[in-house]
Amino acid sequence: MIEKTYLKTKPECKVKFALSADVVGDGRQVSVVGDFNNWDASAHPLRKQKSGVYASTMNLEIDHTYQFRYLVDNSHWLNDDMADSYAPSPISQDSNSVLSV
């Protein structure tokens, strides 16, 4: 799930990335990795909320398109069903989620 909130005071969008507990399954560590953090799995971990949803929020520059994926336990990659589109990954047979802000 992706929630976008455009800021009125800056050319940025507050983006909330979230995955439900049933999607994460038995995973313990979940992070969102992509162009915005140089694909660094430690940069934006998703934290488990009281509702059971794993979420992380960050501000991203508007008028950009970002590729990203979720990484569970440093081994299992997931795409977001709510992505704006998908693009072929340059390093695997998979596709990356695409976010346009």
CB 14 within 8 A of CB 7: yes
Give the pLDDT confidence of 7-60 residue by residue, as tens digits: 999 999 999 999 999 999 888 899 999 999 999 999 999 999 999 899 999 999
* Confidence grade of residue 90 (pLDDT, cut at 50, 70, 90): confident
Cβ neighbours of residue 89 under 8 Å, at least 6 residues apart? Answer: 95, 96
pTM of the model: 0.93
CATH of 2-100, one of 3.10.20.600, 3.40.30.10, 2.60.40.10, 3.30.70.2340: 2.60.40.10
- Whose tokens are 């596709």? That residue is 95
Q: What tokens appear for 57 in the block?
A: 């929020």
Residue with the larger pLDDT of the pair 92 and 5? 5
CA distance readout (Å), 17 to 49, 74, 90, 91 = 12, 17, 23, 23
Check pLDDT > 90 for residue 93: no
Check pLDDT > 90 for residue 92: no
